[in-house]
Amino acid sequence: MSDALNKLWARFLPEIENRLALMEAAVKASAAGELSEEQRAAGHAAAHKMAGTLGTFGLHRGTDLARMIEHALEGDGATQPADLSTWTDELRAVIQSRV
């Protein structure tokens, strides 16, 4: 099973990295006060998809972080940009730990 999971990871890694880049761009724009609705929606969708994908690979902390980012990008404005930045940095580290 481990070999099959590793092959799946390699196959999905470019998509995972793309989704992370979308989230990071949304977080950066939010911190600069320049988050467009389109960028917010793209980051939100990427976080939602990332949460499910990472769970498949047993990266439960990554799933939790992606969900936190997803909820923060729903647009309520309650989450501080510094929190979002911390969460995306940690999410990147979780993903890199699997590589």
Sorted by where each begins, the domain ranges of the chain are 37-99
> Residue 25's pLDDT is what?
95
What's the chain's length in residues? 99
Quickly list DSSP for 7-54. HHHHHHHHHHHHHHHHHHHHHHHHHTT---HHHHHHHHHHHHHHHHHH
Question: Interior CA angle at 58 toward 24 and 71, to 5°?
Answer: 40
> Residue 69's pLDDT is what?
94
The string of pLDDT tens digits covering residues 12-42 is 999 999 999 999 999 999 889 898 999 999 9
The string of pLDDT tens digits covering residues 45-66 is 999 999 999 998 999 999 999 9
